[in-house]
Structure 1
Amino acid sequence: MTDSTPLRFRRYENFIVIAMFFTYGFVMMDRLSITFLFPFMAPELKLTNTEIGLSVSILSICWAISSWVFSSLSDLMNAKKKFLTFIILVFSLASFSTGLAATFGVLMLARGLMGAAEGPVVTLAQAAVIADSSQRRRGFNMGFVQSSTALLGSVVAPLAVVAIAESLNWRYSFYLLALPGVIIALILMRYMKEPVMIGSAVDHVHVKPKLSDYKQAFAHRNIWLGMIISVGFMGWLFAFTTFAPTFLVEVDKISPGKVSLVMSAMGLGSFIWGLVLPYLSDRLGRKPIMITFGLLASLAPIVLAEVHATAGVLAVLAFFLAVAQGYAPVFMAIIPAESVPRAFVATAMSLIVLVGELFGGTLVPTIAGSLADHVSPVAPLWMAAAGSFLVFLVSFGLKETSPMKLQRTAAKNGLEDVLPTG
């Protein structure tokens, strides 16, 4: 290895982290933008709360299945770059098609296509980061990439799409959202290398995994517990983000423009926590972070449900309580990456996404929408709080995977360093 090789590796590490940050971020911007546009779309398309929930659920169903199928294929074929660039182009097309929806049926079709295209992006992006991250930066890199969900999906998206909807029409928001995906796909085609999941990441030596080894993706208890945690988190995320804007407009009588500021403040808090919590989990351990902040995240929807204050006060509270997006990369990407063999990291992450999306992302929004229609508009927010409380409870069963924490424990006990498989 020449002296310049590590420097080249670090430069590519920085490139892939930044590229996946924007890839991941634009996917979540596409996905979450519709929740901020429902106050504009619902009257025109005559959508009930139940139909709003269904339009979120159909995306989650398609997202879950496609994430598992294409992530598994990408592991077995060792061809993540090809899958990633193709599906980015497809989800850009799906975003554009959402703007063409004139009926609830067409909207469901467009959102289903978007879910099928976007599902594998999350796992493939994080697999690329894992392959080209040094161990000391692994947790921070993966947290930084996933923090784009908050910055682009929860800060930029509500401000941008609501402004476009108010000045032009909600349809133009979806048309414009298609452009960043096309640009990202072209950049990845030109500069991205195929991630190396077995072999040397520095020298890019590829070894394809065997189909008979696929079962290793299911072999660690953290993956099974991660599936349950994912149900709670997805339930929190989609019950909260889907119905909070409509709740604040209809119940608290806050204008859509001011609601977008509240949600953006929460998004900014999520971005900061998304950087801080993975970094802290490197040093304090993954498990303590999941337990502590799983409980704290339960407060955010309760505050919005019960504190009927001005938009400014709610924005401040939302900023400080937006911790769930901070623990998300810990259970969804970092823990599985450190729990299973590297060759099947994308599959392991997709299993966690699959179960979370099918139950937390599909059933919860539909049930929450029905309860909002027939029981109380505050019901979805209490369901969101229950979701993160489930995260808190299940996290007690996780097995610690942080290399730094394990090394300290081993040294304290006078044992050899025993690190996780991944």
Structure 2
Amino acid sequence: MDQGPQKPFWRYENGVVLMMFFTFGFVFMERLSVVYLFPYLAPDLKLNNAQLGMIVSVLAICWALSGFFFGTISDFLGSRKNVLVPITLAFSLLSFLTGLAKNFGQMLGIRALMGVSEGPVLPIAQAAVMADSTEARRGFNMGFVQSALGLIGSTFGPLILTWAATKYSWHAGFYVAGIPGLIMFFVLLFFMKEPNKRMSKEELAKSEHRLRKEDFPVVFRTWNIWFTLLIAVLMMTWLFAFTSFAPTFLVEYDHYTGEQMGVISAAMGLGTFFWGFMGPYISDKWGRRPTLVLFSFIAVLSPLVLIFVHGSVALMCVLGFLTCAGQACFPLFMVVIPGESLSPKYVGTAVGLVQMVGELIGGAVMPTVAGVAADHFGLPAPMWIAAAGAFVSGIMAFFMRETAPIRLRRRGQVASEPVQL
């Protein structure tokens, strides 16, 4: 929504970006908490690598299905707030409950429920951001929201959670992870607004802010949606095979201490944050497709660094920061490209669909496959699986059709016009 020539910082566009940034960041910190705390809780609950993979996988399955279901529901309702607020409260309370788990079965069940509550956050949050983003800042805004998984989830997360686990217990780590979500529940409750509620009656009558049943097949007739689905599977294979086992790899294979692992993981998270919004910003100027190709190939390097380089903590931090640039791909294939390939009323459905397919295969199946591979072939196996996923993703990205408004205008195309099969 254009704010005119005067664009003060304290406008709702920036407000909704910050609210969604912190909400998604705290969600992902909680999602990764079991990975960072696994070296502490595994001996206590007597868990192996395959069981860690299953814990990660069951959350991903429920996350995927829930994200698509509730993202579509929010499109049909034409409401983001009425879905986002209650699920924010739910995932916060479930984090506390995770800290009370006493065995593998309880942990598996609680994390499944956690996936149900956390899955819809990204599709709904990004739909809310897209509705209030100016065209020139669309990629940056949506990338900035998704980069929260790097700053909060992967940088502050390992530092805070490993500190809590070292000083107190792994139970305390989950309790700490649940507190920020409770804060965001109240922030969203009092400050989040619905885009259609701010329209005049005339604007609302002309708008198509609500998805209709007959509109639904359009999502599946759009060229870019099919390629974003393929890339989602491949890049989520990279993400979850890497992030699920990198902490354990650093401790058990490379023999860093738990505290050193936390520092290296934090440096990777800082890189994830920086590139997570810098990549989409570059794509605003350069184009979505070339940016996606470049950063997919860079992502290949992050797991290979852990396999072939065993240096000082400082060196590993620098290399981790630089090679986690692959995170720049996620806002592009998950949110920006699907959102620009369709009308705004489809955003929750499209993002939920891409997230669902990527999570079900890359996020659910591959961590278990990687865990079994680690038990049979050693901890480098998940790193090779991650590298392969990113490499093939880079190849697939060549087949995407450009959606960046600045590139389309140069070609004389309409930025909002979907490219269908």
Say whether residues 1:257 and 2:259 are aligned partners.
Answer: yes
Match of 1:153 in 2: 153
Q: Deviations over 1:91-135 (max 9, x none)?
A: 111111110111000000111011000000001000000001111
Say whether residues 1:103 and 2:103 are aligned partners.
Answer: yes
Q: Which amino acid aligns with 1:128?
A: A
Q: Does the 8 Å CA contact 2:271/2:321 hold for their aligned counterparts?
A: yes
CA distance in 1, matches of 2:343, 2:6: 24
Say whether residues 1:137 and 2:133 are aligned partners.
Answer: no
CA distance in 1, matches of 2:213, 2:5: 33
Q: Which amino acid aligns with 1:55?
A: I
Q: Which amino acid aligns with 2:178?
A: A
CA distance in 1, matches of 2:398, 2:413: 23
Match of 2:65 in 1: 65
Match of 1:397, SS state, is coil
Q: Which amino acid aligns with 1:152?
A: I
2:387 to 362, 376, 385: 385
Q: Does the 8 Å CA contact 1:24/1:121 hold for their aligned counterparts?
A: yes
CA distance in 2, matches of 1:219, 1:127: 20
Structure 1 residue 177, shift from structure 2 partner: 1.5
Q: Which amino acid aligns with 2:236?
A: M
Q: Does the 8 Å CA contact 2:30/2:177 hold for their aligned counterparts?
A: yes
Say whether residues 1:245 and 2:247 are aligned partners.
Answer: yes
Match of 1:418 in 2: 414
- Greater Cα shift, 300-309 or 116-125: 300-309
Q: Which amino acid aligns with 2:328?
A: G
Match of 1:345, SS state, is helix
Q: Which amino acid aligns with 1:257?
A: E
Structure 1 residue 6, shift from structure 2 partner: 7.3
CA distance in 2, matches of 1:143, 1:201: 32
Q: Does the 8 Å CA contact 2:68/2:356 hold for their aligned counterparts?
A: yes
Say whether residues 1:229 and 2:231 are aligned partners.
Answer: yes
Q: Which amino acid aligns with 1:82?
A: N
Q: Does the 8 Å CA contact 1:235/1:360 hold for their aligned counterparts?
A: yes
CA RMSD of superposed structures (Å): 2.3
Q: Does the 8 Å CA contact 1:240/1:301 hold for their aligned counterparts?
A: yes
CA distance in 1, matches of 2:132, 2:197: 9
Structure 1 residue 201, shift from structure 2 partner: 12
Structure 1 residue 353, shift from structure 2 partner: 0.5
The change in CA–CA distance for 1:79 and 1:375 in structure 2 (over 3 A counts) is: same
The change in CA–CA distance for 1:10 and 1:136 in structure 2 (over 3 A counts) is: farther
Structure 1 residue 220, shift from structure 2 partner: 1.1
Q: Does the 8 Å CA contact 2:297/2:326 hold for their aligned counterparts?
A: no
**Percent of aligned positions that are identical:** 45
Q: Which amino acid aligns with 1:185?
A: F
Q: Deviations over 1:344-384 (max 9, x none)?
A: 11100111101100000011100110011111211001111
CA distance in 2, matches of 1:421, 1:197: 26
Q: Deviations over 1:138-176 (max 9, x none)?
A: 111111111101000110000000000000011111112
CA distance in 1, matches of 2:4, 2:257: 56
Structure 1 residue 420, shift from structure 2 partner: 3.2
CA distance in 2, matches of 1:91, 1:80: 17
Q: Does the 8 Å CA contact 1:5/1:202 hold for their aligned counterparts?
A: no
Match of 1:195 in 2: 195
Match of 1:112 in 2: 112
TM-score for both structures, normalised by structure 2: 0.94
- Greater Cα shift, 5-14 or 319-328: 5-14
Q: Does the 8 Å CA contact 1:217/1:341 hold for their aligned counterparts?
A: no
1:346 to 345, 348, 356: 348
Structure 2: gaps (5+ residues): none
Structure 1 residue 88, shift from structure 2 partner: 0.5
Q: Deviations over 1:242-295 (max 9, x none)?
A: 111111111111101001111111111111111211011011100001111101
Q: Which amino acid aligns with 1:234?
A: M
Q: Which amino acid aligns with 1:391?
A: S
CA distance in 2, matches of 1:62, 1:267: 24
Q: Which amino acid aligns with 1:15?
A: G
Match of 1:413 in 2: none
Match of 2:163 in 1: 163
CA distance in 2, matches of 1:195, 1:352: 23
1:376 to 375, 378, 381: 378
Q: Deviations over 1:73-103 (max 9, x none)?
A: 1101112111000111111111111101110
CA distance in 1, matches of 2:67, 2:333: 17
- Greater Cα shift, 254-263 or 215-224: 215-224
The change in CA–CA distance for 1:162 and 1:18 in structure 2 (over 3 A counts) is: same
CA distance in 2, matches of 1:185, 1:198: 21
CA distance in 2, matches of 1:53, 1:209: 36
CA distance in 2, matches of 1:99, 1:56: 16
CA distance in 1, matches of 2:330, 2:4: 36
CA distance in 2, matches of 1:16, 1:7: 15
2:221 to 215, 219, 235: 219
Q: Deviations over 1:149-208 (max 9, x none)?
A: 100011000000000000001111111211111111111111111134997799677653
1:279-358 equivalent positions in 2, closer than 5 A: 279-358=281-360
Q: Deviations over 1:359-411 (max 9, x none)?
A: 00011100110011111211001111111112101101100000011112x2x
Q: Does the 8 Å CA contact 2:271/2:325 hold for their aligned counterparts?
A: yes
CA distance in 2, matches of 1:202, 1:164: 54
Q: Deviations over 1:287-319 (max 9, x none)?
A: 001111101110110110121222222111111
The change in CA–CA distance for 1:215 and 1:275 in structure 2 (over 3 A counts) is: same
Q: Does the 8 Å CA contact 1:219/1:340 hold for their aligned counterparts?
A: no
Match of 2:33 in 1: 33
